[in-house]
Structures are given as structure tokens and as C-alpha cells.
Amino acid sequence: MAQLRVMVLLVHLRHLTLLLGEDISSLPQQVLIERIKALFSFLGEVGKVEIFDDTVQLHLREATPQKSAECAKLAERATKRAREGDYLRAIELLRRALQLSPSLPTLHRDLAMCLMELGQHAAAKDALIDALKLDATDAWSFVVLGNLYAKHEANPDQARRFYERALELKPGDAWALNGLASALAESGDQSGALLRFDEAIQSNPEFANAWLGKALLQLRSEQPRESAGTIRSLFAQAKMQDARSEPVFAEASKIFLAAESALAQSEESAAFKAVETYRRTVELDSGYPVEVSEDDLPSQTAGRAQMAWKHSRDRHLITSRRGLPPPFRDTLSHMNLLIFVLRPKPGDSDAIASSPPRPSPMNWPSAPSVRTFAGSKNRIPAPTRFSGSCGSWSKAYVRNFSTVRSTCSSSGGSTQSCRRSVPRR
């Protein structure tokens, strides 16, 4: 007759209180024993239960060596399927493995991760709690459970308790710090959230999520300049770990656009003054007044610049497409004004035409910065053309944050480039 293999599982009541969100230690002993048996019923038949102060001892039937070996093979196949993205098959294999050896916490945790990938969050939460009932020292399961409570249970306070427990088990863990920062932000503790985001970044500067969370908090706190700077640091230091990192970098791009748009709006008055100052300079330099107007221009044409001497007029004419947002219109006017500076006037020699151009307002130390308006793709066509009789401006709005270039080309073959660098992913 085969000998019965029995294992003893030790569980602390304070640990169960954390998982359940309720204190069960004050229950009468027999009621408490029945409650504990129910909590561990996923293990099959639970034998004797003994309670010593805060410690509970559960006597469980241990899997045979044959079942353990078969369970290991199934778990290995499930891992391979999960890496291939076949989560349904991985879940099937893990559940078969759990029938053979239900007391392995790693199987419950792996099952939870696969369920999360399929959006089955309630089942994933149950699997994670089962994993933590078996192993109270698994910091990663606490982090994932905190994420579930924060994102899908709308319970930042409970999520915060799980993150804090994970940090007790693994101090300085960037994932736990990032989750705790997000929970604090949702609870209204912005200073505490920023502190935790900074700790996560210091712990692992290549961890993009912490940079992203900090930038989003800064943007929501009406700090667009700081938010844009944080996103620049993200692109400079963080790394794309795997395919799951792609949404993080995509969201960073959106936040950068939102921050730059907010800055453009807040600096609209300064930008307008800078353009007006530069317009007067161009008028003095060229000897012609500059008229700026709006009109219904062809599709894909945002603006047009016409020199006075090319069209036998007594003034230069800059026309922008009707309805452009003011920050973009100011930048458009700036670039068209630059055409008049770069192009030679009648009678200029070739030496003058090829001489270095005067600095643009973007580089003038005495003029406020004229920001490129980070417009929505639905409102501003990309690429946008600025056409003129001297040549044409074309500005490619590159959504992945490589270098944005504005290039003025003339029929004479001279080309001047004005480059503004933004974060490269």
C-alpha cells in the first residue's frame, strides 16, 4: 500500500487579513477553522487545521512524484505557449497542471498573468490571491494584484497596501514604487506620488513606466514644461523592454504633444509679440511693409509668402489658411518672414545671396521663443506646405519624435535649413 504523503502549510492570519481586506482573527475558533478550509478549498481536500496565536497550520495531501513530474512538463509547455502569445492554450495547460499539484504558487501566478492578457481580470485576481495564500513572500504577485485593484477595481487604497507590502519584501523595486506612486496620485497625494516616481526612476532609469507616470502627473498638475522635460528624459534614458513597452512609448508621444500644445497656448501672447517684432525688422531690412492675412487656401497648403518685388506690389504678402490655431499661425508667419531674410533682394550680388542668413527669432536671445504648435493630425495636415514665389517651405510633422526639419528651397539652388531637435525614440 502506497504511503500517504502529507505537507504542512503555515499561514499567518495577518497575511490573510491583508488579502481579504477583513480581519478574521476575532472569529470563534471553530468558525475560523471552517472559514480557513473554505479559503483553501482550491487545494482539494484540506486535512487537519490547527491555530496557534497568529499562525495557522494546514495539513494537505502532497502530490506523488509521478504527478509532480507530469505537472512540471505541463508547466513548461504552458510557458512556451504564453511566450508565443497563445494564452488560451497556456491557460488550459496550467489548469491541467494545477489539478495534479494545486499547492504550487507559481502555477497560480502564471495562470493569473495569462488571464490578465485576455482581459479576464476577476479570474486573474482570484488566481493571484490563491498564489499569495500559498506564498506570502512573493513580491511580484503583490505588485500585480495592486495593479488589478488600482486599474480594474477602482480601489487605490487597497492597491496601495499591496504595493507597500511588496516594498517590504523587496525594497527599491521599481515596479512596486511606480504602482505606489500611481495609487498615491489617484488618492490626491501628488507630492508623495512625485517622490515615489523619482525613487522608481532612480532605482531603474531604463524603466519607462515611471517616467511616463511622472510626466502625466505633471501635465495634470498644469506643469506642461516640466512634463515635456520628463518625456525628453524618457526617450533619452528608458529602453523598450519588449512588445509590452510599445504602448508606453506611444502614450509618451501623446503626452509630449499635449504638453507642447499647452505651452504653445500659454505662450501665445509672447509668440505673437516676437513675430510682430521680427516683422518690423523684416520691413526695415527689406524696405517693404509686410501684410499678414487669412484666406481659403488649397488643401495641404497652410500658408503662402509672396515677395513685393516678385509681384510688382508695394508690400510683401503672407497668407495663412483660414482657421489655423493662433500658435501655429504665428509660427507659420515666422517661417514665411524668414524667407524674406534668406532670399536676395533685387540688385544683391551672389556673395550677398550666399552669405550666412540672419538669425531666426527661435535663436534670438532677445526674443521670446516661438514654439512650433503641436497640432492634432486631424486639424493640421502632415506634411504641410508653405508655398511662395521664391520657392516653398515644407514642414514634415514627424509623429515618432525624430528631428523636425523646416527647409526653404529657392529656384537658385541655395538651401537653408532650420532644425529644431525634439526627443528621438
- Mean per-residue pLDDT, 32-47: 86
Other CB atoms within 10 Å distance of the CB of residue 285: 12
> Residues of the chain with pLDDT > 70: what percent?
74
Can you give the pLDDT at residue 43?
85
Can you give the pLDDT at residue 382?
31
Look at residue 289 and tell me whether its pLDDT is greater than 80: yes
Q: How far apart are the first and last CA of the chain?
A: 66
What is the spatial distance between Cα 225 and Cα 319, in angstroms, rounded to a whole number?
31
CA 21 to chain centroid: 31
Considering the entire predicted model, what is its pTM? 0.63
Nearest in space to 392 (alpha carbons), one of 302, 290, 260, 297: 302
Could you report the per-residue pLDDT of 377-409, keeping only the tens digit for each? 333 333 333 333 333 333 332 223 222 223 233
CB-based burial, 53-87: b 16+ in 10 Å, e otherwise: eeebebebbebeeeeeebbeebbebbeebbeeeeb
Which range, of 60-64, 145-149, 192-196, averages the lowest pLDDT?
60-64
Please give the single-letter amino acid code of residue 117.
E
What is the spatial distance between Cα 110 and Cα 113, in angstroms, rounded to a whole number?
5
- Mean per-residue pLDDT, 111-134: 92
Could you report the per-residue pLDDT of 96-106, keeping only the tens digit for each? 999 998 989 99
Could you report the per-residue pLDDT of 10-28, keeping only the tens digit for each? 888 888 888 888 888 888 9
Is 25:17 a contact under the CB 8 Å cutoff? yes
| Helix segments in 4-120, DSSP class H | 13-20, 29-39, 65-83, 87-100, 105-117
> Residues of the chain with pLDDT > 90: what percent?
36
What phi and psi, each to the nearest 5 degrees, are found at residue 142?
Answer: -65, -40
Can you give the pLDDT at residue 143?
94
Look at residue 371 and tell me whether its pLDDT is greater than 60: no
What is the spatial distance between Cα 319 and Cα 295, in angstroms, rounded to a whole number?
6
Angle between helix axes 190-203 and 208-220 (nearest 10 degrees) is 160
What phi and psi, each to the nearest 5 degrees, are found at residue 422?
Answer: -130, 165
Structure confidence at residue 299 as a pLDDT band (50, 70, 90): confident
126 Cβ neighbours under 8 A, 6+ residues apart: none
Look at residue 324 and tell me whether its pLDDT is greater than 60: yes
CA 6 to chain centroid: 48
Can you give the pLDDT at residue 131?
93
Is 108:127 a contact under the CB 8 Å cutoff? yes
Other CB atoms within 10 Å distance of the CB of residue 213: 24
Cell numbers of 157, please?
487604497
Could you report the per-residue pLDDT of 203-261, keeping only the tens digit for each? 999 999 999 999 999 999 999 999 999 999 999 999 887 666 788 999 999 999 899 88
Mean pLDDT across the chain: 76
Look at residue 316 and tell me whether its pLDDT is greater than 90: no
- Mean per-residue pLDDT, 260-277: 78
Please give the single-letter amino acid code of residue 323.
G
What phi and psi, each to the nearest 5 degrees, are found at residue 242?
Answer: -160, -170
Is 407:400 a contact under the CB 8 Å cutoff? no
Structure confidence at residue 353 as a pLDDT band (50, 70, 90): very low
Q: What is the largest CA-CA distance in the chain?
A: 112
Can you give the pLDDT at residue 209?
94
Could you report the per-residue pLDDT of 241-250, keeping only the tens digit for each? 766 678 899 9
